[in-house]
Chains A and B, each alone.
Chain A
Amino acid sequence: MRVVWVIARNTFHEAIRRKFFWVIFLFALVAIASANLFSGIAPGEEKKFVFDFGLGSITLFGMLIVVFLGATMIPSEVDRRTIFTILSKPVRRWQFLIGKFLGLALTTLVTVACMGALLIAVHSYIAKGLDINVVKAVVLAFFQLLIVGAIALAASTRGSLAFNIVFAVLVYFVGAQSSSLLTLAEPEKHLAHAHTQHVEPVSWKAYVFRGVLKTIYWLVPHLDNFDVRQAIVTDSVVPWQTIFNCILYGLLYCSVLVIVAIVLFQDQEF
C-alpha cells in the first residue's frame, strides 16, 4: 500500500509541475471568475448563465487536463526510461498502475475542488446565497472527469500519445451524449413516451444502424449521467439518491477501466 501511495504522490507532484497543466488550469479559473462579465448577454438570467458557463468551463478545461495527464502517463515514463528503474525495484505492475491512477485522481480532485470552489463563490455572490445544487453538480463533474482520466490511462498502457489523446477525447464526446444514442436507437419508445401514435415500419438498414448504436451505447461510459445542468437551471430537484447512484456508477466504471489497464499492462514489453 505504501508503494502505491508513493507512486500516487509522485504522479501528483509530476502533474502539477507540467506547464500545460498550469496554462489550462489558470485559463479555467479566469473563465469562471469572469463569467459574470459575460452574463450581460442574458439579462435577467445572470444566475443561470454564471452556473452554465462556470460548469461548462470546469468540464471542458478539466477534460483537457485529465486527458493530457492520463494520455502522457505511461508514454512519458517509457520515453524517459524511468519505467525500467521503477519496475526493476520491488514494485508490481498493478501497484504501479493503481498508483498512477490514484495520482491522477488526486490531481483531478485538487483541480476540480479549486475550480468548483471559485464557481460556488461567484454563483453564491450572484444568487445571494449558497445553492446546494451547484455543489452537487461540481461533485458529479469530478466523477465524470475521473472516468475520462481512467480511459486515457487505460489507453496509454498500449497506445501512442496522439492515439491516446484522440481516443479519450472521442470517447468523452460520445459518452457525454450516450442517452441520445439510445434515443436514436429506440425512437418508438421515446415517441410513445411523447404520446405520439405515428410509428414508421423499420427497414433492415435502420435495424442494423440501430443495432450499432445500441452496441456503442452499452460500450461507452454514460458520461451524461453526471450532467445535471438542465435540472439545475430550471430549479428542479436533483435527488441525493441519483447523486449516490452516479458516484457508484463512476467508481464501478473506473474500477473496470483500471482492471483493463492492468490486464493490458501485464504483458506489455518495453
Chain B
Amino acid sequence: MRKLLLILSLVILILAQGPLQSLIYKQREIYKLLPPIDVLVLYQLMPAEAITITLVGTMLGGFRGVAAKMLWLKSDEYWHSGRWYSMLPIMRTITWLDPSFVQAWDTAGWHVAYNLRAEAKTEEEQDEYVRRGCEILEEGIRWNPKSWQLLFQLGWTHYDKSGNLAEAIKWFKRARPLEDWKPGDLPRTHHMIAHAYERLSDIPMALKTWKDDFKYEHYCGANKGAVETITERYVVPWKLMEQGRYEEAIAWMDKLLEREELRHSSIVRHVLAEIYRRMGDLETAQAIMEQWSNKNKLDAGARYKAKLWKRMLEEKKSSKGGLAGTQAQP
C-alpha cells in the first residue's frame, strides 16, 4: 500500500512537470534564454554531426566563452598569414560557442562580404558572398538585438556592397534609437540614413533627415552643407517632377551635369534616373544607372538599381512580347 502511494505521488509529480516545463520553455523563447544553438546550421548538418556539436558544446559548458576567445586569437594568426578561407570556419565556431561575442559576428560578416567577395572571380560569386556576409550579420543581430555595432555594420554592408539602399535605411534606422552609443555613433548613423536616402533618390526624405540632424548636432558642417546643397540642386527638379513637368526637370538635371564639380557626382545620376523612371521611361533610367555603375564601381546602389530594373524590363518584355517606343539614351 505504501509503495502504491509512493508510485501514485511519483506519477502526479511527473505529470505536473510537463505543463511547468512548457511554460518555462515559452518564457525562455520570449526572453531569449535558450542555449546558443543555431537551428538552421544544425538542420543543414547530418544528425550525428549535429549531436556531436551539441555534446561538445555541453561539455565545454561554462567555458564556451573562454574557448571562443582562444579561437579568436587563432583566427588572428590566420589573418596575418593570409589564410582567409580558413578563417571562416573558425569564426563561425566562435559565434556558435559565444553568440554574444559581437566583435566576432562583426568581423565574420565583414570578412565574407568584403575580403572573400574581393577574391571571387565572377559577379554572381561576388553577390553570393555579400549575401552570405549580410546573413551572418543578421544572425548576429538576432542574438544581440541591442548591438549598435552589428546593426550599423549591416546597414553599411547593404549601402556599400549589396546596394540595396532600402535595406540599408531599415538597418541604420534600427541602430538609431539605441542607448549604448559611443561618441560619434549617433551623427554617423544619422548621416548614413541621409546619404542612403540621397542615393535612393528620395529627396524630401534626405532633406528631412539632414534637417532633423540639427536636433542632435547644433553645429555641424556636414548637415548644414547638405541642406544647402540639396535645396540648391535638387528641390526644384523634384518639384517639377512631382507636377509632371518631366522635361523641365530633366533639363535642370542636364544643366547640373554640365557643371565641372558635379561631373563625378552619384546623386545627380540617381535623381536623373529616378525622374526618367517616374516618367515611365524605365529603359533610360536603367541605362543611366548601368553606365554610371560601370564608370563608378564604388556606387553599389547604382549597380543594384541597374540590375533590378534590367530584370524588370526583361520580365516586361517577355510578358508583352517586346517593348515599343522607348529608346535608351546614352
Minimum CB–CB distance from A17 to chain B (whole Å) comes to 28
Q: In the complex, A245→B30 CA distance in Å? A: 14
Find out whether the CB atom of B24 lies under 8 angstroms from the CB atom of A246: yes
- B58 touches which one: A41, A177, A263 (CB < 8 A)? A177
Find out whether the CB atom of B40 lies under 8 angstroms from the CB atom of A229: no
Find out whether the CB atom of B17 lies under 8 angstroms from the CB atom of A49: no
Q: In the complex, A194→B39 CA distance in Å? A: 9
Q: Does A68 contact B (CB under 8 A)?
A: no
Interface of B is mostly: helix
- B17 touches which one: A38, A190, A231, A249 (CB < 8 A)? A249
Instruction: List residues of A (154-205) whose CB comes within 8 Å of B's CBs.
Output: 173-174, 176-177, 179-184, 187, 190-191, 193-194, 196
Q: In the complex, A181→B31 CA distance in Å? A: 20
Q: Which B residue sits closest to A245, measured CB to CB?
A: B24
Q: In the complex, A53→B70 CA distance in Å? A: 13
Find out whether the CB atom of A184 lies under 8 angstroms from the CB atom of B58: no
Minimum CB–CB distance from B35 to chain A (whole Å) comes to 5
Minimum CB–CB distance from B249 to chain A (whole Å) comes to 40
Give every chain A residue within 8 A of B73 (Cβ-Cβ): 41
Q: Does B181 contact A (CB under 8 A)?
A: no
Find out whether the CB atom of A56 lies under 8 angstroms from the CB atom of B35: no
Find out whether the CB atom of A245 lies under 8 angstroms from the CB atom of B20: yes
Minimum CB–CB distance from A253 to chain B (whole Å) comes to 7
Q: Does A255 contact B (CB under 8 A)?
A: yes
Find out whether the CB atom of A42 lies under 8 angstroms from the CB atom of B69: yes
Find out whether the CB atom of B59 lies under 8 angstroms from the CB atom of A173: yes
Q: Does A107 contact B (CB under 8 A)?
A: no
Interface of A is mostly: helix
Q: Which B residue sits closest to A260, measured CB to CB?
A: B10
Q: Does A100 contact B (CB under 8 A)?
A: no
Q: Does B118 contact A (CB under 8 A)?
A: no
Give every chain B residue within 8 A of A263 (Cβ-Cβ): 3, 6-7, 10
Find out whether the CB atom of A187 lies under 8 angstroms from the CB atom of B43: yes
Give every chain A residue within 8 A of B37 (Cβ-Cβ): 177, 179-180, 183
Minimum CB–CB distance from A175 to chain B (whole Å) comes to 9
What 1/0 flags go to B25-39 for Cβ under 8 Å of A?
Answer: 101100111111101
Minimum CB–CB distance from A39 to chain B (whole Å) comes to 9
Give every chain A residue within 8 A of B17 (Cβ-Cβ): 249, 252-253, 256
Given A38-B66, A177-B58, A184-B54, CB of A245 within 8 Å of CB of B27:
yes
Give every chain A residue within 8 A of B61 (Cβ-Cβ): 56, 59-60, 176
Find out whether the CB atom of A256 lies under 8 angstroms from the CB atom of B28: no
- A242 touches which one: B2, B3, B33, B98 (CB < 8 A)? B33
Give every chain A residue within 8 A of B47 (Cβ-Cβ): 184, 206, 209
Q: Does A241 contact B (CB under 8 A)?
A: yes
- A184 touches which one: B18, B31, B42 (CB < 8 A)? B42
Q: In the complex, A257→B29 CA distance in Å? A: 27
Given A56-B66, A238-B31, CB of A230 within 8 Å of CB of B36:
yes
Q: Which of B14, B24, B25, B99 has the most chain A CB atoms inside 10 A of its CB?
A: B24
- A183 touches which one: B14, B21, B42, B146 (CB < 8 A)? B42
Q: Does B187 contact A (CB under 8 A)?
A: no
Find out whether the CB atom of A245 lies under 8 angstroms from the CB atom of B23: yes
Given A187-B39, A256-B10, CB of A234 within 8 Å of CB of B25:
no
Find out whether the CB atom of A179 lies under 8 angstroms from the CB atom of B42: no
Give every chain A residue within 8 A of B205 (Cβ-Cβ): none
Q: In the complex, A56→B6 CA distance in Å? A: 36
Find out whether the CB atom of A236 lies under 8 angstroms from the CB atom of B69: no
Q: Which A residue sits closest to B40, measured CB to CB?
A: A194
Q: In the complex, A38→B14 CA distance in Å? A: 43
Q: In the complex, A236→B10 CA distance in Å? A: 36
Minimum CB–CB distance from B29 to chain A (whole Å) comes to 8
Find out whether the CB atom of A259 lies under 8 angstroms from the CB atom of B40: no
Find out whether the CB atom of B25 lies under 8 angstroms from the CB atom of A52: no
Interchain residue pairs with CB less than 8 A apart (18)? A41-B70, A42-B65, A49-B69, A53-B66, A176-B58, A179-B25, A183-B37, A187-B43, A227-B33, A231-B31, A231-B33, A236-B32, A238-B31, A239-B27, A245-B23, A245-B27, A252-B17, A256-B14
Question: Which A positions have Cβ atoms within 8 angstroms of B?
Answer: 38, 41-42, 45, 48-49, 52-53, 55-60, 173-174, 176-177, 179-184, 187, 190-191, 193-194, 196, 206, 209, 218, 222, 224-225, 227-231, 233-239, 241-242, 245-246, 248-249, 252-253, 255-256, 259-260, 262-263, 266
Q: Which 4 A-B pairs have the closest CB atoms?
A: A56-B62, A52-B65, A190-B39, A177-B58
Known: A49-B65, A56-B63, A225-B21. 12 other contacts (CB 8 A): A38-B66, A48-B65, A52-B64, A53-B63, A194-B40, A227-B33, A230-B36, A231-B33, A233-B100, A234-B144, A242-B24, A245-B20
